[in-house]
Amino acid sequence: MRRLRNVKIVATLGPASSDYEMIRALFEAGADVFRLNMSHGTHDDIRSRHQIIRQVESDTGRPIAILADLQGPKLRVGTFAAGAHDLEDGDKFRLDLSDAPGDSDRVQLPHPEIFAALEPGSTLLVNDGKIRLQVDDCGPDFANCTVTVGGTISNRKGVNVPDVVLPLAALSEKDLKDLEFACELGVDWLALSFVQRPEDVIQAKDLAKGRAAVLSKIEKPAAVKAYEAILAVSDGIMVARGDLGVELPVYSVPPIQKRLVRMARAAAKPVIVATQMLESMIESPMPTRAEVSDVATAIYEGADAVMLSAESAAGKFPIEAVTTMNNVAVSVESDPTYRQVIEASRNVKRSTVADGIVAAAREIAEATDIKAIAVFSQSGTTVGLVARERPKVPIIALTPLMNTARRLCLTWGAHCVITEEQDRFKGAVISAVRAARQHGFATETDQIVLTAGVPFNVQGTTNILRVAPCDERLIYKADPE
């Protein structure tokens, strides 16, 4: 199935999308990647959905990527004797380690690591930022606060600490078990929550041992500050705007999104824009105009993928949500302004042979009547370099490795094709032109550009660029041996 767009769609699975018929319908509507949220459902639920996705992949003959999203440490207050209390602006309120039920003056915060990091003047956000507390004084087991924005506080509401780096690992005990389970299951991507520093990503990659690529969720102010270092050690990025919009002023999120997307693209690493993209479609078959504009903005920015969360996992209209996102993407990418924006934002520092070859491939394709750029790749790195160029023509990603093909389903413009291993360049050319014809990118009278590396089947050897006719007879005539 050939997609008519380059940006990829990530759809989260959940109660509304857990059987074969629905998951296949979501794929046919446009989903390229399925997200399994490890915060919800048992390992048996996750295993069942994984098996169904792989069955859809087998039945449709198209690689599909699976992303397991780790929960990360969850910081929550304790419980209240009365269940809930109203806090008014200016009230004094205490957080401590005592497990006694909370009241209108205090409640347990069972996280000594938070108290260790707090300072007078620090801000604490409760219940997605609806309540704001400012720390007046604190110690190793308490924080006395003033309520700066009041509201109703109730049992086990979440707590955010936006202005300090917490001495917490990104991987909780649950995450460690979930990571190993997901890698053994055979997911393609791991999304790492609560990233604050590059060491968090390095730990996850060490545990994954290459079984899955690691994608860092940028959802904390500390991660925004350390973004360049985090990006350098990550395989991909998710701009997780939900928590970013809680811990930072909401008006700062759009420029941050633009900067994160642009830097990830410059690094040739896939970047997903996520959270509340079509939120109203949880309950409505039609999105708001603002939501459509939000999706379009992410596509104009050059994001590799846009993501649906509750819209496809628990909403009433999961297929309509994917279809809407697909239609928005097709509409944006057919707009002449889209090409102008994408080309104006191309910011590539080229320093390797591979950088030069993929840039030349794009320029040749755009200057002549070339129908596609075919890329032979073992690891997928060169496909990422071609995608960074955002060429006007399709990218055919050819690899003998199913794991590579699946991971590339997250990369902008990559149409992934499993091919036989090649040991001679001529065989690679023949394989590329056959894939171009078979998948509807070209006819016998057309030409494609091919990049590859010799020796074959060795990572990091991209060193050849060839313009090839799609008529195999012309290839044999030019190279009869």
Active site residues: 35, 76, 217, 275
With CA atoms as reference, report the closest residue to 195 among 173, 225, 174.
225
How far is C-alpha 121 from the chain's CA centre? Answer: 34
**For 242-258, b where at least 16 C-beta lie within 10 A, e where not — what string?**
ebbbbbbeeeebeebbb
**The pair of three-digit structure tokens given for residue 382, joined into one six-digit string:** 């060169």
Cα separation, 438 vs 451, in Å, equals 19
- The percent of the chain in helix, strand and coil, each rounded to the nearest 5, is 40, 25, 35
Cα separation, 404 vs 419, in Å, equals 12
Q: DSSP strand E in 128-258: where?
A: 131-139, 142-149, 151-154, 159-160, 189-192, 213-218, 236-240
Other beta carbons within 10 angstroms of residue 241's beta carbon come to 23
Cα separation, 281 vs 278, in Å, equals 6
Pairing of strands 236-240, 213-218: parallel
Cα separation, 457 vs 105, in Å, equals 66
Pairing of strands 92-96, 84-87: unpaired
113 exposed, middle or buried (CB, 10 Å; 0-12, 13-18, 19+)? middle
270 touches 236 (CB < 8 A): yes
Dihedral, 199, 203, 209, 211 alpha carbons, nearest 10? -90
Q: What 3-state class would DSSP assign to 399? A: strand
**For 303-326, b where at least 16 C-beta lie within 10 A, e where not — what string?**
bbbbbbbbbbbbbebbbbbbbbbb
Dihedral, 24, 29, 33, 36 alpha carbons, nearest 10? -60
Cα separation, 215 vs 473, in Å, equals 44
**The pair of three-digit structure tokens given for residue 408, joined into one six-digit string:** 């590339």
With CA atoms as reference, report the closest residue to 90 among 145, 159, 129, 138.
145
Pairing of strands 142-149, 447-453: unpaired
How far is C-alpha 336 from the chain's CA centre? Answer: 26
